[in-house]
Amino acid sequence: MSTLSDLVHAQGCLNDSDVEWLHRLAGDGQLLADLAFADIVLWVATSDASFIAVAHARPGGAATLFYRDIVGERVRPQWRTQVQEAYDTARIVDSSSPDWFEETPTRVRAVPIVREPAPEGERSAVIAVLTRHTNLGESRQPSRQQITFDQCADDLFGMMGHGEFPDLSAPTSPRRGAPRASDGLIRLDVDGIVTFASPNALSAFNRMGFDDELEGESLAEVTSRIVPAGRQVDESLPVVVTGRAPWRTDMEARGVTVSLRAIPLRDHGSRVGAIVLCRDVSEMRHQEQELITKDATIREIHHRVKNNLQTVASLLRIQARRTHSEEGRDALVQAMRRVEAIAVVHDTLASGLAQTVDFDEVFARVLKLVAEVAAAPNTRARTRREGRFGVLPSEYATPLALALTEVVTNAVEHGLSGQEGTVTIEAQRTDENLRVIVRDTGHGLPEGRVGQGLGTQIIRTLIQGELGGTIDWQGAEGEGTVVTIDLPMRWVKA
């Protein structure tokens, strides 16, 4: 399905600021649908004098009219005149009689979307139209909560027609944990006095220690009585509980954390009250704190593992310097290089929260390490990288880094021994496969035979055993060697 941006840009009639405005509005589509107990559809004009749906939200507390998403569809004939009138006149247009949609009676309201209020005496420029589709088939005696929710929706619809909602001064915050109308709604007057509190909102404040009724109380004073004296609170809390700014904040008391979001209500620029949404997020905040603690512990473990591996590498280096046997010294140096390659991965993991690594960054450090250690005095090896490995989980990164260390080391030590040449490492990644091709311009494989040393055994074990991939050596004596590694990526979520 096409995104809002794709659908809007395809019409070519709105600029980037208009699209950003519509994104903000669509982000609150669920709130509007829940307040209005109706489906909410956002329409933009097309180049052929019609309208196309670019966003759709279904109500959480009422039956939807549209069981199939209508995003991307043209406006239906029975709504087109009403939508066009709202677009042309910059006024809210209600249907004069019930509209029938698939044998269901509905009531439709078309609301013009304005981004910038027009100067006095001029008509505002409408960038889109929002329609509210109310299912009359389930009509019943409305409760006080439903009446209040509907009034809040009408207030927001009126603000849309004057460019006052959404509010771009509101900070963009994660949707996860954001309060919804069904979680708890408090209506404030211009002085910050509660005129309505839904049962869920009252329950949230009861859990924090407030035992009376909220209605008729100043929400700011209630909050000051709830929050323990001397406890540090978010600086935005007083502004949110008075409904003066469209911000979000948390308040905590008695081990309960409630997230609050204020939506100031305005009439032609004058503040007339506010909606405050509230949600008990105690369990969510507890889980987030546990994750932060676990992440910090994991980072510390990676840091200590890296330090221990570097200590082991240092001990191997010291031992190699004191070994008189050339064969023993080479074995110790190779072991040191392998340990340091693993340490590079742990060093990268210790610097971030995610247990994934940018393997291009890791391999750049590993490649530098290999070039410095593997080359003999009479060998001049150049390394060159092509393509990108991308992000890999740590369980892939460690064995792959070690395997490539061995492959490049073999190319430098054996393929380019005693001469000047180039080792090229090319990465080709798709959603299903990662192919790494290592080419050198060295001596090549004698009579096409692959080495049987420890390095080759390590490579096979890592690539075939741990990573479930394949590896192939190709080349001829005097023509260089090509090593091709293929790894399946179907389990990688990076």
Confidence tier at 53 by pLDDT (50, 70, 90): very high
Question: Which CATH architecture group holds 378-494?
Answer: 2-Layer Sandwich (3.30)
Q: Is the pLDDT assigned to residue 162 strictly greater than 80? A: yes
Counting every residue written for the chain, the total comes to 494
Beta strands in 226-269 (DSSP E): 248-253, 256-267
pLDDT at 431: 85
Give 280's strand partners.
258
Q: What percent of the chain has pLDDT over 90?
A: 37
Q: Please check the confidence at residue 120 and state whether its pLDDT lies above 50.
A: yes
Is the pLDDT assigned to residue 79 strictly greater than 80? yes
User: Are residues 302 and 342 in contact, defined by beta-carbon separation less than 8 angstroms?
Assistant: no
Q: What is the pTM of this model?
A: 0.64
CA pair distance 197, 185, nearest whole angstrom: 6
Mean pLDDT of the chain: 84
Same fold, 4-160 and 181-280: yes
* Per-residue confidence (pLDDT) for residue 452, from 0 to 100: 65
Q: What is the pLDDT of residue 314?
A: 79
At residue 131 the predicted structure's pLDDT band, cuts being 50, 70 and 90, is very high
pLDDT at 203 > cutoff 90: yes
Query: What is the structure's pLDDT at 174?
Result: 64
Query: If you average pLDDT over residues 222-230, what whole number do you get?
Result: 84
Report in angstroms the alpha-carbon separations of 155 from 111, 152, 441.
Answer: 12, 5, 74
pLDDT, one tens digit per residue, over 189-201 is 999 999 999 999 9
Going by C-beta distance under 8 Å and a sequence separation of 6 or more, which residues neighbour residue 210? 222, 225, 226
Summarize the confidence of residues 110-132 as an average pLDDT.
86
pLDDT score recorded for residue 377: 60
246 vs 316, higher pLDDT: 246
DSSP 8-state symbol, 97: S
Q: pLDDT > 70: what percent of the chain?
A: 87
- Note the CATH number of domain 181-280: 3.30.450.20
The pLDDT assigned to 129 comes to 97
Mean pLDDT value across residues 261-287: 90
- What residues form DSSP beta bridges with 421? 381
Is the pLDDT reported for residue 155 higher than 60? yes
For residues 470-483, give the mean pLDDT: 80
Across residues 370-382, what is the average pLDDT? 62
Select the highest-mean-pLDDT range: 3-17, 221-235, 332-346, 473-487. Answer: 3-17
Residue 376 has pLDDT above 60, yes or no: no
The ranges assigned to domains in the chain are 4-160, 181-280, 283-353, 378-494
Each residue of 246-267: pLDDT tens digit? 999 999 888 899 999 999 999 9
CATH class held by domain 4-160? alpha beta
Of the ranges 120-134, 153-167, 170-184, 242-256, which one carries the lowest mean pLDDT score? Answer: 170-184
pLDDT of residue 494: 45
Tell me the C-alpha distance between 408 and 386, whole Å: 14
Q: How many CA atoms lie within 13 A of 84 on its CB side?
A: 12
SS3 29: helix
The mean pLDDT of 220-225, rounded to a whole number, is 92
Q: 337: part of which helix (H) or strand (E)?
A: helix 326-349
Higher per-residue pLDDT: 284 or 74: 74
Higher pLDDT, 174 or 426: 426
Q: Is pLDDT above 70 for 492?
A: no
